[in-house]
Homo-oligomer: A and B are copies of this chain.
Amino acid sequence: MKTVVKKSRKQQIEEKATTLFQSRGYAATSMRNLAQDLGIEAASLYSHIKSKEEILQRICFRMAEEFYSAWQEVDEETGGNAAKMEKAMIAHVKVITKDTNASAVFFNEWRHLSEPFLSEFLAMRDDYEGRFKKILKDGMASGEFKLVDDKFMMLTILSSLNWTHNWYKPDGSLSPEEVGKRLSGLLLNGLKNN
């Protein structure tokens, strides 16, 4: 037996918008495009939302929250920094794979946020990236990691992780957990045989 949860119209709008923003981009998606996909008139959207940008804001900040929540299990890790980094990478990938469309919008369309949302968004991103850098620094200090530029390293790691939204298919053979493990395995141990 399958219970069908009724989605609010606002939610439906947000989901369709997410798909459209992902495929055509925020700026190139018109409210009339969105309305048509929902089978209503453009003006009708405004019974449910305040503005086009509100939709973008909701998508971006909801995803930000998800990334933050996922970090909880990272802090619980008491093993070494390599283990902690693996946890972080897996948690991060899990969030992305749970909604690749929303992730794409999060990663590519945030620049269309207006102030003060843009500044708030960037501050959160900085903070989040700082957490990765901290693991790297701790791991280098303890001798677990090679000595590298931590910012350079963090950017490289996150770019690999963040790209998953472009190719991950939920119906594929790899689970989110498995994707995260492979990515962390690669970045921690490298491609070459020793």
A interface vs B, CB < 8 Å?
A: 23-25, 27-28, 82, 85, 108, 111-112, 139, 143-146, 148-149, 151-153, 155-156, 159-160, 162-163, 166-167, 182-183, 186-194
27 contacts between A and B (CB under 8 A): A23-B111, A24-B111, A25-B25, A25-B111, A82-B192, A139-B191, A143-B193, A144-B192, A144-B193, A145-B192, A146-B193, A148-B182, A148-B186, A152-B182, A155-B167, A159-B160, A159-B163, A159-B166, A186-B187, A186-B190, A187-B187, A187-B190, A187-B191, A188-B190, A188-B192, A189-B190, A194-B194
Bound together, the chains give a CA A143 to CA B146 distance in angstroms of 25
The answer to whether B167 touches A163, judged by C-beta atoms less than 8 angstroms apart, is no
Bound together, the chains give a CA A160 to CA B153 distance in angstroms of 10
Bound together, the chains give a CA A108 to CA B112 distance in angstroms of 14
User: Nearest Cβ distance between residue A158 and chain B, in whole angstroms?
Assistant: 8
A183 to chain B: which residues have CB within 8 Å?
A: 156
What copy number does this chain have within its complex? Answer: 2
Bound together, the chains give a CA A27 to CA B111 distance in angstroms of 13
- Of all chain B residues, the one with the shortest Cβ separation from A194 is B194
Bound together, the chains give a CA A182 to CA B97 distance in angstroms of 28
Bound together, the chains give a CA A163 to CA B23 distance in angstroms of 20
A28 to chain B: which residues have CB within 8 Å?
A: 27, 112
Contacts A160-B160, A186-B148 given; indicate if A153 touches B191 (C-beta within 8 A): yes
Bound together, the chains give a CA A149 to CA B183 distance in angstroms of 11
- Of all chain B residues, the one with the shortest Cβ separation from A158 is B163
User: Nearest Cβ distance between residue A143 and chain B, in whole angstroms?
Assistant: 6
Bound together, the chains give a CA A139 to CA B188 distance in angstroms of 19
A166 to chain B: which residues have CB within 8 Å?
A: 155, 159
The answer to whether B146 touches A156, judged by C-beta atoms less than 8 angstroms apart, is no
